Amino acid sequence: MADMTAQTITLEDGDKAALQYLGAAVVLQWRNLPESAQQSILQQAESTGGLALVPELHEQIKALLKRSREDAAA
**CA–CA distance, 41 with 37 (Å, rounded to integer):** 6
CB within 8 Å of 47: residues ≥ 6 apart: 4, 5, 6, 7
What's the confidence (pLDDT) of residue 36? 95
What's the confidence (pLDDT) of residue 1? 55
What's the confidence (pLDDT) of residue 71? 85
What's the confidence (pLDDT) of residue 72? 83
Residue ranges in the chain modelled with pLDDT below 50: none
Amino acid identity of residue 42, one-letter, is L
What's the confidence (pLDDT) of residue 41? 93
pLDDT tens track for 58-71: 999 999 999 998 88
List 8's β-bridge partners, or say none. 49
